[in-house]
Homo-oligomer: A and B are copies of this chain.
């Protein structure tokens, strides 16, 4: 009985995804309640519950206790969506992730410079300052703030696919390399972030491209040195 129910829950989950797309629900929007969904999809409430559970597992929905079921801000992007945790050689993987950043992000910075609004620049400056503050205070906040800085630039670039992809690349690099940050690298990043910020907010696409290229080359070469240092001591 329980087994026969599995495919029905899968189909119901698909119908819920169709529902979200059809009614253009945005992250944070609330779904109709269990009873309404069961009625309109013509299945039992336990099937709705099971379908919702699946979509929660896929980061498509989130259940807020006592409030209801909402479209998740994760937009269906799973933890480790590309299965990087199954790659054993994390040193090689990190270098390969930097290679991807090297190919993608200079162009992101150039397009961000072309599209930058004054509001964007205010937000960029705010993030850069908060990262510097975190360096000064010795907190770990800069890791997440750095992902946000690069995500904002990506959003400004207007490439919808990169908007999903690049945060995954950044998160993976920082997840794999928990301790990957030192005083020397932070001084480096501090100057690089300022250079990118200035170029983008001068709307100078070419300078933004070069500043980002230089930043990524420098972070990835710091990473190599750091690893070699580790193995020598």
Contacts and interface: CB of A to CB of B under 8 A. Distances in A.
Interface of A: 6, 17, 20-21, 24, 53-54, 57-58, 60, 74-78, 80-89, 92-93, 96-97, 99-100, 103-104, 107, 159-162, 164-165, 168-169, 172
A156 to B, nearest CB: 14
Contacts of A104: 100, 103-104
A80 B57 CA distance: 14
Given A81-B81, A82-B164, A96-B161, 12 more contacts: A17-B85, A21-B86, A24-B88, A57-B57, A57-B58, A87-B164, A99-B159, A100-B104, A100-B161, A100-B162, A100-B165, A103-B104
Contacts of A168: 82
Contact of A165 (B21, B58, B82): B82
